Chain A
């Protein structure tokens, strides 16, 4: 982005009218797009804090009207979503830890060009990105492994994202080889080289991929719905979907139900905020890393 800024500086010195018009138009357009992107999110946040009366009379757009925390209090009293939230923390936490171990164990050896059989392995792994058995055979496999209703089904099925592993592999490949060579002379084996030397200098890439796995576990809905039917093991997304499904029909139907609907509307908004906020809280801390990390992957692939 720094390099990209240079040529534009050249225009800045003697900006023509056309160039200025372009700028005005561009700033306006980007502002508009950004507002359109954020508006529904802000609107929902405000809905969750507004009174039923204000919602049903259409007063809530950007700021909450008649602020109250009733919807949140209801949710916490009800308890099912809080429990699902705890389950989600377990699923996403353990899942991401397993993901990272497996991904690093795959990416590091495969980044070594001297490794015999590397080409064949990479070919077989890349092929799975383009072709797969599909939903039904996977379901049968999980059922025959007796993993239904166990979180292991979620953890094992998505153990490695091939894309993430290949990004990490490219990252390892471009590290300077001297560090490892001197460590090898000092008598370190490959495993201790990985743990003591490679991992500490790869933190930006590791942080990025950790975030990707964390987000995908947290937001995962389909696999949980497929493989976890025990209502005590529900995650936050399946619980949210259930709550919405209950309200779905009533919300889509005619406006006759308006008054009854208003209250569920703010509860629904609160549930959405409740289940989305934890992952959005992680985001600003890791943002610095992931832009870098995605770029590494982008340039390499």
Chain B
């Protein structure tokens, strides 16, 4: 009896051993078969390890007092001191407020712009008119913020700008100092981001609209629905999924206002509304060499972005859309 059970146990062991062995052998076989593919991935993995994941490790300096002489490992730990300093600093609270306000304006005004533009473009019947306008609307996307920034400052200049010349001629008013006024600056900021991105942004929405089943429109037409009703009840509901995905992706960059965009329009007189996390980290962190403190701010920004992505994804899913995972 005893030997019998022993031998079955042994047999079982051997079976699972064989199974394991064959799994390893299969794995090895697969890896050997795909050796060229793995070889191709070597530089890619190295890139992500060195330039993406190493800085994530480097973010530990947010909890340290970093000095170049000591290196990342050698610098002493300070716990949450940098974060406490951040939350107590009135300067940080001001840039956070600026950042959030500009984000909010961007979300409310810039995000819907390509959607509306795409819907309007889709209603254009003349193929050549449509193609020409589209090509022209894409152009600002290919121009750098440095160039766009100087164009904006140029045409809005109170002394030589065309916009001010026009305003003065038409309405007989004094020239407006758009770029140095804390009222006008955020408006110029948002309009400029619409200018650069709305045309290009239509591509994705137009692709989504193309995918709508034309029978829906035909049926609606037979039922006597007008163009405007069709847009409201067919086009918009059908691209809701695309809108949701882009919204989630947008939220991931919520606190990131493009540094180049802000920097190219910023000047000393509007700092009270135009100084944001990115410019602050650059000025205080790199120029002022307060590496650990500004790393803490950077980490705060990244974490907020991550949480917002997860949260938006969750809400969008609850609302019955696909989400991104």
Residues of B within 8 A of A76 (CB): none
- Contact across chains for B203 and A291 when beta carbons are under 8 A apart: yes
Q: Does B72 contact A (CB under 8 A)?
A: yes
Residues of B within 8 A of A252 (CB): 153, 157-158, 177, 179-180, 267, 269
A217 nearest CB across to chain B (Å): 11
Residues of B within 8 A of A135 (CB): 278, 281-282, 285-286, 294, 298
Residues of B within 8 A of A279 (CB): 142-143
- Contact across chains for A262 and B160 when beta carbons are under 8 A apart: yes
Q: Mark A10-31, 1 if CB is under 8 A from B, else 0.
A: 1110001011001100110111
Q: Does B199 contact A (CB under 8 A)?
A: yes
Main SS at interface, chain A:
helix
Q: Does B105 contact A (CB under 8 A)?
A: no
Q: Does A168 contact B (CB under 8 A)?
A: no
- Contact across chains for B153 and A251 when beta carbons are under 8 A apart: yes
Residues of B within 8 A of A140 (CB): 58, 61, 66, 68, 72, 291
* Residues of chain B from 121 to 159 with CB closer than 8 A to chain A in the complex: 121-125, 129, 133, 135-140, 142-147, 149-155, 157-159
Residues of B within 8 A of A160 (CB): 44, 47-48
CA distance A102 to B40 in the complex (A): 9
Residues of A within 8 A of B38 (CB): 109
- Contact across chains for B120 and A30 when beta carbons are under 8 A apart: yes
Residues of B within 8 A of A110 (CB): 41
- Contact across chains for A244 and B179 when beta carbons are under 8 A apart: no
Residues of A within 8 A of B217 (CB): 6-8, 10
> Of the candidates A34, A109, A268, A295, which one forms a contact with B154 in the assembled complex, judged by CB atoms under 8 Å apart?
A268
Residues of A within 8 A of B228 (CB): 18, 22
- Contact across chains for B210 and A3 when beta carbons are under 8 A apart: yes
CA distance A55 to B157 in the complex (A): 12
B177 nearest CB across to chain A (Å): 7
Residue among A40, A248, A262 with the most chain B CB within 10 A? A40
Q: Does A115 contact B (CB under 8 A)?
A: yes
* Residues of chain B from 9 to 50 with CB closer than 8 A to chain A in the complex: 27, 30-31, 34, 36-41, 43-45, 47-48, 50
CA distance A226 to B281 in the complex (A): 12
> Of the candidates B44, B209, B267, which one forms a contact with A248 in the assembled complex, judged by CB atoms under 8 Å apart?
B267
Residues of B within 8 A of A8 (CB): 123, 125, 217
Q: Mark B101-120, 1 if CB is under 8 A from A, else 0.
A: 00000000000000001001
- By beta carbon, the residue of chain B nearest A110 is B41
- Contact across chains for A215 and B34 when beta carbons are under 8 A apart: no
Residues of A within 8 A of B240 (CB): none
Q: Does A299 contact B (CB under 8 A)?
A: yes
CA distance A220 to B239 in the complex (A): 33
A15 nearest CB across to chain B (Å): 9
- Contact across chains for B37 and A157 when beta carbons are under 8 A apart: no
- Contact across chains for A37 and B56 when beta carbons are under 8 A apart: no
- Contact across chains for B227 and A44 when beta carbons are under 8 A apart: no
- Contact across chains for B210 and A4 when beta carbons are under 8 A apart: yes
Q: Does A275 contact B (CB under 8 A)?
A: yes
Q: Mark B265-290, 1 if CB is under 8 A from A, else 0.
A: 00101000000001001100110000
Residues of A within 8 A of B169 (CB): 58
> Of the candidates B30, B51, B260, which one forms a contact with A159 in the assembled complex, judged by CB atoms under 8 Å apart?
B51
CA distance A232 to B296 in the complex (A): 34
Residues of B within 8 A of A55 (CB): 160
- Contact across chains for B43 and A137 when beta carbons are under 8 A apart: no
Residues of B within 8 A of A128 (CB): 48, 52-53
Residues of A within 8 A of B263 (CB): 221-222
Q: Does B182 contact A (CB under 8 A)?
A: no
- By beta carbon, the residue of chain B nearest A1 is B210
CA distance A102 to B140 in the complex (A): 28
- Contact across chains for B302 and A294 when beta carbons are under 8 A apart: no
A38 nearest CB across to chain B (Å): 5
Q: Mark A34-70, 1 if CB is under 8 A from B, else 0.
A: 1001101101100100000001101011000000000
- By beta carbon, the residue of chain B nearest A274 is B147
> Of the candidates A109, A143, A258, A295, which one forms a contact with B40 in the assembled complex, judged by CB atoms under 8 Å apart?
A109
Residues of B within 8 A of A26 (CB): 120, 123-124
- Contact across chains for A241 and B264 when beta carbons are under 8 A apart: yes
CA distance A219 to B140 in the complex (A): 12
CA distance A4 to B207 in the complex (A): 9
Q: Does A139 contact B (CB under 8 A)?
A: yes
